[in-house]
Amino acid sequence: MLESRRRSSRLILQIVLTVLVIPFVLPLVAMVQGSLAGAGWGNYVAVLSVPELPLFFRNSALIAVATIVIVYVFTMLAAFGFAKLHIRGKSFYFWLLIAALTLPEVVLLTPLFATMTSLNLYNTYWAVILPLSALQLPFTVLLARNFIDGIPDELIEAARIDGASTAAGFWYIVLPLTRPIGAAIIVFTLLGAWNDYLLPLVFLVDPSTQTITQLPQFFVGQFSNDQTKVLASAVITALPEVVAYLCLQRLFERGLSAGALK
Amino acid sequence: MTISSRAAEQTPITRPDDDRAQEGGAARRRSFRRPSGYAWILPALVFSVGLLYYSVGYTGYISTLIWNGTAPDVTHVGLANYAKAFSDPVFWLTLQHTAISFVVTFSISTVLGFVFAALLHSRPWFGGLYKVALFVPVVLAPAIMAPVFRQIFANDGQFNWLLTHVGLGSLAQPWLAQSGTALAVILAITIWGGTGVSFILYFAAMGQLDPELLEAAELDGAGNIRRLASIIWPNVRGTTLALATLSAIGALKTFDIPYLVTVGGPNFATEFLGTLIYRTSIPLGAVGYGAALSILLLVIALAMAIVLNAGRNKRGARTDA
Amino acid sequence: MFGIRSGRRSAKSLAAALIVAGLAAGALAGCSSSGGSNSTDSATKGSITWWGWTPEIGVGKQYIAAFNKVYPNIKVTYKQVATASYDAAIRPALASSVGPDVFNIAPGGGIGSIAAYQGSALDLTPVVTKALGSGWKSKVAAIGPAGLTTSSGKLAALAVGSTFAGSVWINPDMFSKYGLTPPKTFGDWVKVCSAFASHGVTCFEQGAGDPGFNMDLLHSIADSIKPGVWSKAAAGTVKWTDPTLVQAMTVFKSMFSNGIIQKGAVGVQQYPDVNNDFLAGKTAMVMMGTWYMQYSTLAGATAAVSAAGVANAKPFPMVSIPFPDVTGAGNPAPLFGDADYGLAVNTKSKHPKAAETFVTWLGTNTAAQQVVANSLNDISALSSVSPKWSDVTLVDPSTQQSTLQSLIGRASKITEPRLGDLSTALGQAMGVATASVAAGNATPVQALTTLQSSAKG
């Protein structure tokens, strides 16, 4: 992108880059440092030996996986519909969906409580999964629609001339091509579901259904606050997300590069 | 993924397409290249639009009540909650903070994201490491990072320590304690967590640029700065506009960072609509007033979405022509 | 939903996919149902849940273990909810049919406010009368039922213990290191703080970003000038613009400019910031209440110092001192408090009798109250019980035990509420008033005038 034929200019680029990236790294260093203060690795031992940890982990994973499945399936169907099929008043429906991007969770707490209670879903995982998915869908549909838009019509038409149905075209042609944007959808949905604090707190009553975001609570009392273990739990909570991102990084970047957002 | 593949085994999707004509008719033939897609968008619409719009409608109803959210006794007050909002100085303050937040975080994140993308496309050593360092902040929940930032910007925190050690000790101050600087800290944290997204989108967009374009510029003898400004920047305009929309929405939805880092303080200096709605609805139990504030937030968001979209279409039309 | 286009393969495969998703989902829902037993309610058998923001999980489990020695067939599950999130979680839970059987409430308008949740609480008068006899009120600390009885006379919750504020805690090691003595007057206080400052040490740290602790400080100053005015203002019989309160607010303001309160206090929270700095030996004095007694024990202090991020934690023998006499009026050092929390029984509980057994046991049983007293977190609700010092290992009994005893002795006679007489809205307005003065955005008179007008409206 930038011209750096000479070694010296390349070095200058590298230095500029490093200086600029330092402010982004320092808070991460402070976090790890804080988690090792006081009892040192003992903080991690203490967090890992919270008896409920595996349970919280499982619950969070369950919610994340279910949310990802719903979001992925609904997003792909809708994005294909919006990008490649005939719908009268398409932009109206699209905007109806996209406008929901602006809804913050905190606005929805009271109405969602009424809804979940009347559907008998309060205190089930659904009370968390459904709103999470509904809030995630507008963004992922936007991403995926733009991506599928970029798939040449000819590819799908070729399949249709061969006698395949729309569904087959979707299944055999579109879906395999959307793996990169699928990775992006998975990463964004995982972040949303895994990091969510408010919905599990309000809608899951049972102590056995608590999620990983409640973990720091074990080290914060009314009149006590063990910051070192809070930070250690933060690191442990964040690890699966970082790992998931690293695993999907390549696909993720490709997904966003095919003109996902423009 | 596994669910979809199991579905495929159960459904014979390769059967010849023979029953199409009976439901198609003339309309179908006319749009042969575009079969109807209602069934495809229906699940998402029913689900997302259904649940969320129902909630919005319900919120609209609650906004005409004085109610604590669960008690059986409600008082109908019409539009009084809206009148209260318009005469509440804190409400106007939150709008001001939202506007500042949008302008500042959008411009700084955009410039940084753009510069990082350009630098990382210039094949530096260890590029992958830099990318991870920029994106990990996006991954971490504000709830995780809030205590860390509170520590960093405390009076005896690392930031002041750093200032003192690079000879800028006179600038050291209690950042979170002053109305004037607390908002700046909140914005800095937002930028820290958001630049990764700007970067990754610009990085992707620059990867799509026509190499010939850049070569032409090189033959032209354009310098690096000029090349960035007059060739690359105009060509990633689509990404910039998308980021503007996302930042605007993000600014309106701001909740976690000010709530967890400064609790909206000191003295409402970092109060945003989200924190005001939460504080009103939950600890104060004034769900009706909170609902009225929520509806105002949605109206503003929609108005902004329409304005941004109109601007975008106009620009799009111009470049396409 | 997909019937419209059922003739189409696309729709079929969609439907199939969704059915599979639905099946997976059904399995999910199965995991979450708690499956409470529907057996008839019994006072000695059952499974109940208890929600609270306090005690800490470990302490809660300790209480339950002791309870189960007497009532092995009542299974109690304790869920601690973050203080800041308690109201968000408990309100819908109580409105639902699956809420906790036992839940914490507190006097006043703060977290778990009795005003907000009294409708969900059973009247506990009959069970406490049964447990302690008709003269039960003389057997428990008066401050308990005072704050937990509704205006209609219902005992909404049973206090487990009380906490009192108004005391100042010091790190004696830091005082002796610099040859200083704890302040008794305002003048002393300024001098001590400038001496600490000359050594580059923080003297007194206050989390002025935390409205509740600002109120404690202001309340103490007001009581030291003229006892009782604060309570009258809270009750509405004296205006917040009363000269005593203006003077108190002026003293409060001056503490930010004369070097008593640390720089940048408005951006600091009492928890975790101030707490950690004090425990880590970075500041010599803090304003904390009787709940700080728990850090006098060797185990409590060691864990707390380590939690504040100090490697190889060495506990120090902290002691409380009376609040300095800020105007030289010679009034007794202020102390004011409430039931720390009370246990309420949910009207929708499916096991109210078992829940009542647990609540009554923790609030009125001598053995249970001994556990509460010995933990030194709360001052026990049962008047006859006090900490058994032979069972408590202090960091330095020679300096600490007598001050602890005198603090507990003073506290047990106090009837002046800390939060019990402040409504949610008044608490909020107080927070604004103290924060605006602390940040220098309003004069004491301006802030109190605003407070008075919002208290009226």
Comparing CA positions, the residue from C138, C145, C147, C95 lying closest to residue C124 is C145
Q: Write the DSSP string, B111-178.
A: HHHHHHHHHHTT--TTHHHHHHHHHHHHHS-HHHHHHHHHHHTSTTSHHHHHHHHTT-GGG---GGGS
Average pLDDT over residues B152-168: 85
Out of A3, A230, A259, the one facing B224 most closely (by C-beta) is: A3
Do residue A39 and residue C306 have CB atoms under 8 angstroms apart? yes
Do residue A124 and residue C308 have CB atoms under 8 angstroms apart? no
> Amino acid identity, residue C399?
T
Out of C11, C21, C268, the one facing B177 most closely (by C-beta) is: C268
C228-282 pLDDT per residue, tens: 999 999 989 999 999 999 999 999 999 999 999 998 888 788 887 898 889 989 9
Residue C370 CA to residue C356 CA, distance in Å, equals 20
Q: Is C30 inside any structural domain?
A: no
Strand partners, C341: C161
Same domain, C319 and C184: yes
Q: Is C219 inside any structural domain?
A: yes
Q: Using an 8 Å Cβ cutoff, are C173 and C396 in contact?
A: no
Total number of domains constituting chain C: 2
Q: Is C173 inside any structural domain?
A: yes
A142-166 pLDDT per residue, tens: 889 888 888 888 887 777 777 778 8
Structure tokens at B121: 């496309």
> Would an 8 Å CB–CB cutoff place A155 in contact with chain B?
no
Out of A40, A203, A204, the one facing C311 most closely (by C-beta) is: A40
Cβ contacts of A224 on chain C, cutoff 8 Å: 56, 271, 275, 304, 307
Residue A13 CA to residue B50 CA, distance in Å, equals 51
Out of A27, A245, A257, the one facing B208 most closely (by C-beta) is: A257
Structure tokens at B257: 């960072």
Please report the residues numbered 433 through 452 in chain C whose beta carbons come closer than 8 angstroms to any beta carbon of chain B: 435-436, 438-439, 441
3-state secondary structure of C285: strand
Do residue A97 and residue B119 have CB atoms under 8 angstroms apart? no
β-strand pairing of C46-52 with B75-76? unpaired
Domains of chain A: 52-257 (1.10.3720.10)
Q: Is C255 inside any structural domain?
A: yes
Q: Is C111 inside any structural domain?
A: yes
Backbone angles phi, psi at C78, to 5 degrees: -100, 130
Cβ contacts of C96 on chain A, cutoff 8 Å: 117, 122-123, 205
Residue of chain B with shortest Cα separation from C13 = B11
B191-216 pLDDT per residue, tens: 999 999 899 889 888 887 777 777 77
Out of C92, C94, C267, the one facing B174 most closely (by C-beta) is: C267
Cβ contacts of C271 on chain A, cutoff 8 Å: 223-225
Residue B170 banded pLDDT, cuts 50, 70, 90 = confident
> Would an 8 Å CB–CB cutoff place C271 in contact with chain B?
no
Chain B interface test: which of A70, A76, A86 (most B C-beta within 10 Å): A86
pLDDT value of position C27: 41
Cβ contacts of C428 on chain B, cutoff 8 Å: 284
Q: Is C206 inside any structural domain?
A: yes
Same domain, C429 and C375: no
> Amino acid identity, residue A125?
Y
Q: What is the mean pLDDT of chain A?
A: 85
Residue C134 CA to residue A259 CA, distance in Å, equals 78
Q: Which domain holds residue C64?
A: 46-164+338-411
The CA–CA distances, whole Å, from C111 to A8, C52, C222, C279, C424 equal 62, 10, 24, 26, 9
User: Does pLDDT of C227 surpass 50?
Assistant: yes
The CA–CA distances, whole Å, from C224 to A219, C261, C332, C404 equal 36, 18, 7, 21
Beta strands in C174-243 (DSSP E): 202-205
Same domain, C154 and C205: no
Q: Is C5 inside any structural domain?
A: no
User: Does pLDDT of C95 surpass 80?
Assistant: yes
Residue C113 CA to residue C106 CA, distance in Å, equals 5
Same domain, C430 and C442: yes
User: Does pLDDT of C113 surpass 80?
Assistant: yes
pLDDT value of position B256: 84
Q: Using an 8 Å Cβ cutoff, are C185 and C328 in contact?
A: yes
Residue C422 CA to residue B66 CA, distance in Å, equals 21
Do residue A171 and residue B13 have CB atoms under 8 angstroms apart? yes
Q: H helices of C280-396, where?
A: 298-307, 352-364, 366-374
> Would an 8 Å CB–CB cutoff place B43 in contact with chain C?
yes
Same domain, C237 and C280: yes
Q: Write the DSSP string, B65-129.
A: EE--SS-S--EE-TTHHHHHHHT-HHHHHHHHHHHHHHHHHHHHHHHHHHHHHHHHTT--TTHHH
Residue C367 CA to residue B27 CA, distance in Å, equals 83
Which letter, b or e, does each residue of C25-49 get, where b requires 16 or more Cβ atoms within 10 Å of its Cβ?
beebeeebeeeeeeeeeebebbbbb
Which letter, b or e, does each residue of B259-274 get, where b requires 16 or more Cβ atoms within 10 Å of its Cβ?
bbbbbbbbbbbbbbbb
Q: Which helix (H) or strand (E) holds C164?
A: strand C158-165
User: Does pLDDT of C161 surpass 90?
Assistant: yes
CATH number for the domain spanning C316: value is: 3.40.190.10
Cβ contacts of A230 on chain B, cutoff 8 Å: 147
pLDDT value of position B219: 65
Cβ contacts of B120 on chain A, cutoff 8 Å: 17
Out of C8, C309, C377, the one facing A34 most closely (by C-beta) is: C309
Do residue C13 and residue A167 have CB atoms under 8 angstroms apart? yes
The CA–CA distances, whole Å, from B274 to B100, B114, B189, C204, C434 equal 15, 29, 17, 34, 24
Residue C28 banded pLDDT, cuts 50, 70, 90 = very low
Contacts of A86 (CB under 8 A, 6+ apart): B31, B34, B35, B36, B37
C59-93 pLDDT per residue, tens: 888 899 999 999 999 999 998 888 878 888 898 88
Which letter, b or e, does each residue of C275-288 get, where b requires 16 or more Cβ atoms within 10 Å of its Cβ?
bbbbbbbbbbbbbb
Please report the residues numbered 241 through 260 in chain A whose beta carbons come closer than 8 angstroms to any beta carbon of chain C: none
Chain C interface test: which of A224, A226, A230 (most C C-beta within 10 Å): A224
Do residue A225 and residue C57 have CB atoms under 8 angstroms apart? no
Q: Using an 8 Å Cβ cutoff, are B109 and B247 in contact?
A: yes
Q: Using an 8 Å Cβ cutoff, are C10 and A167 in contact?
A: yes
Q: H helices of C37-139, where?
A: 57-70, 86-95, 114-117, 125-132, 136-139
Average pLDDT over residues B54-70: 85
Size of interface A-C (CB pairs under 8 A): 138
Domains of chain B: 80-320 (1.10.3720.10)
pLDDT value of position C306: 81
Same domain, C305 and C238: yes
Same domain, C321 and C448: yes
C109, with CB counted inside 10 A (0-12, 13-18, 19+), is buried
User: Does pLDDT of B31 surpass 70?
Assistant: no
Same domain, C304 and C441: yes
> Would an 8 Å CB–CB cutoff place B182 in contact with chain C?
yes
Do residue A87 and residue B37 have CB atoms under 8 angstroms apart? yes
Q: Using an 8 Å Cβ cutoff, are B195 and B134 in contact?
A: yes
Chain B interface test: which of A2, A19, A33, A161 (most B C-beta within 10 Å): A2
pLDDT value of position C10: 43
Do residue A117 and residue C96 have CB atoms under 8 angstroms apart? yes
Residue C355 CA to residue C344 CA, distance in Å, equals 9
User: Does pLDDT of B2 surpass 50?
Assistant: no
Cβ-based neighbour number of residue A243 at 10 Å: 11
* Chains in contact with chain C (at least 3 beta-carbon pairs closer than 8 A): A, B
Same domain, C158 and C173: no
Chain B interface test: which of C2, C6, C13, C426 (most B C-beta within 10 Å): C13
Q: Tokens 């968390």 sit at which residue?
A: A128
C408-454 pLDDT per residue, tens: 999 988 889 998 888 878 888 888 899 889 888 899 999 999 999 88
Q: Using an 8 Å Cβ cutoff, are C300 and C143 in contact?
A: no
- For Cα atoms A11, A13, A14, give the angle at the middle one, nearest 5 degrees: 65
Q: What is the 3-state secondary structure (H, E, C) of chain A?
A: CCCCCCHHHHHHHHHHHHHHHHHHHHHHHHHHHHHCCCCCHHHHHHHHCCCCHHHHHHHHHHHHHHHHHHHHHHHHHHHHHHHHCECCCHHHHHHHHHHHHHCCHHHHHHHHHHHHHHCCCCCCCHHHHHHHHHHHHHHHHHHHHHHHHCCCHHHHHHHHHCCCCHHHHHHHHHHHHCHHHHHHHHHHHHHHHHCCCHHHHHHCCCHHHCCHHHHHHHHEECCEECHHHHHHHHHHHHHHHHHHHHHHHHHHHHHHHCCCCC
Q: CB-side exposure of A103: number of CA atoms within 13 Å?
A: 31
Q: Using an 8 Å Cβ cutoff, are B187 and B101 in contact?
A: yes
Size of interface A-B (CB pairs under 8 A): 288
Q: Is C226 inside any structural domain?
A: yes
pLDDT value of position B141: 82
3-state secondary structure of C431: helix
- For Cα atoms C294, C295, C298, give the angle at the middle one, nearest 5 degrees: 105
Residue of chain A with shortest Cα separation from B158 = A30
Do residue B178 and residue C268 have CB atoms under 8 angstroms apart? no
Same domain, C116 and C156: yes
* Chains in contact with chain B (at least 3 beta-carbon pairs closer than 8 A): A, C
Same domain, C313 and C346: no
Query: Closest approach of chain B CAs to the CA of A1, in angstroms?
Result: 5
Out of B43, B55, B124, the one facing A108 most closely (by C-beta) is: B55
Q: What is the mean pLDDT of chain B?
A: 79
Please report the residues numbered 174 through 213 in chain C whose beta carbons come closer than 8 angstroms to any beta carbon of chain B: 208-209
> Would an 8 Å CB–CB cutoff place B70 in contact with chain C?
yes
Same domain, C390 and C365: yes
Residue C197 CA to residue C191 CA, distance in Å, equals 10
Query: Closest approach of chain C CAs to the CA of A101, in angstroms?
Result: 24
Q: Using an 8 Å Cβ cutoff, are C426 and C109 in contact?
A: yes
Cβ-based neighbour number of residue C100 at 10 Å: 28
Comparing CA positions, the residue from C176, C202, C165 lying closest to residue C318 is C176
User: Does pLDDT of C8 surpass 60?
Assistant: no
Contacts of B191 (CB under 8 A, 6+ apart): B104, B105, B108, B109, B112
Structure tokens at C290: 């009787």
pLDDT value of position C247: 95
Q: Using an 8 Å Cβ cutoff, are C142 and C337 in contact?
A: no
Average pLDDT over residues B64-77: 80
